[in-house]
Every structure is written in C-alpha cells, then in structure tokens.
Amino acid sequence: MTAALAELTGTALLIILGNGVVANVVLNKTKGNNSGWLVITFGWAMALFVAVYTCTMLGGSGHLNPAVTLAFTFFGDFDKALVVPYILAQFAGAIAGSIIVWIAYKTHYDATTDPELLRATFCTAPNIYSPVNNALTEFIGTFILMFGVLAISPAASTLGTLDALPVSLLLLGIGLSLGGPTGYAINPARDLGPRIAHAILPIKHKGNSEWNYAWVPVVAPVLGAILAALVFNYVK
C-alpha cells in the first residue's frame, strides 16, 4: 500500500470512530445518547490510537492531519513530494469517514431534528462565536498537539506504532482541557472534510454548514503546528 493510501485509510478510521462517538452521544434514540463530554473525548482518543497505529502499520507516516504534515515539511525531514498526496488523502479519508458514519447512523439522523446536533456529528462549532478567541483556542490546542508529537517522536517525521498510545493520550488531554470553547478540531482535514460531507449529503432537517466559521479550524491549526515545530527546533 502506498503511503498516501495509508494516510487516507488512517484518516477515514479516525473520522469513523471519532465522529461516530459524537453521533452516538448527540443523535436521538442511540444507546449512548446524552452520555457526555467524557465519552466524546475518550472516543476521539481511542480513534486516534487506532488510526495512527493502522496507518503506520500500512506504511504511512501517521500524520492524519494537514497541519502536522506541513509542520514536518517546513521544520523536519519529510519528503516534500509527498505533501500534496498526503493532504489530498487526508481530506478524502475525512470525507469518506463522515459518509460512513452517516450511513451507520442513518435512522438516528432521520430521528434527530435539531440542525446543530446534526452538524455537530460532522464538524466543529463554538458555543460562543468569537472568531479571534475561537482561532486562538484552536491555535493553542494545535500548538500543544504538534509540540507533544515532536517530543514523542523527535527524530523523525513519521510516527511509529509505539507512538500511537502516547499521541492518543495527548489528544485526550487536549480534549479534556481545551476542547470546551470550540470542540477542538485541531486538524483541518478532520473539520473541513466532514463539513463538505455535511453540505452534500441528503440529511433530513439539516441546517447550514456554517461556512463563515470554516476558516478557523483550517487556518489556526496550520499556524499553531508550524509555530510549535519552529519553537521545538529552537529549544531542543
């Protein structure tokens, strides 16, 4: 399997398990309905563990995140020829993963009439809309993610299978500590890919896809990851 295809597979798994746990918590009449934020954060952490482990086993780098790929490109030894294929694969995997979640929970999507809850199973949105503060939260969260990834795997631009668990615990910590304001996208593909899926799928009762907010979980994570790599390279 090519590295890009491994990234696509890993990102699809990330979204299937990550957005899957959100769907289980917020959609009507599911077994996990209203089980809360702790379930979501633990679910996302386990999603990242499975996705990184699987991706690296298949020959990918385990980035699963355009911001991480770009940061490794600018301040690491990552092959620049792989940047575009990786990012395209990450977005494609995220879109595919969201569609699979929708198929799995189709009857529960039909039973849910709140458009905000429906959108929450695809992409992030703040409870208090404040573009500057929302962007800062995403920036800080991604800075910590990238800095932590570099501390876990400082010698290479590829995460190994043994890195999957500490990276997933890192994501758990970020979600519990900094996830409240925005839902902690900290990954452009994780947010924009599912947002595109939300826009194109024939979902009953859906509202708009909040494109006015879509730039925040794309721009802020990229800037946060790049600065983290710059700072890490300076202080290591």
The model's pLDDT over 145-192, given as tens digits with 9 standing for 90+, comes to 999 999 998 666 777 777 899 999 999 999 999 999 999 999 999 999
Note the pTM of the prediction, 2 decimals: 0.96
Window from 128-142, 159-173, 202-216 with minimum mean pLDDT: 159-173
Is the C-alpha dihedral spanning 139, 198, 28, 130 positive or negative? positive
The answer to whether 210 and 191 have CB atoms below 8 angstroms apart is: no
Average pLDDT, the chain: 95
What pLDDT score was predicted for residue 163?
A: 85
DSSP 162: G
The model's pLDDT over 20-62, given as tens digits with 9 standing for 90+, comes to 999 999 999 999 999 999 999 999 999 999 999 999 999 999 9
Distance CA 148, CA 52 (A): 15
End-to-end CA gap in the chain:
34
> How sure is the predictor about 1, in pLDDT bands with cuts at 50, 70 and 90?
low
Going from the N-terminus, what domains does the chain have, and what CATH number goes with each?
3-235 (1.20.1080.10)
What pLDDT score was predicted for residue 158?
A: 75
> 91: closest CA among 23, 7, 200?
7
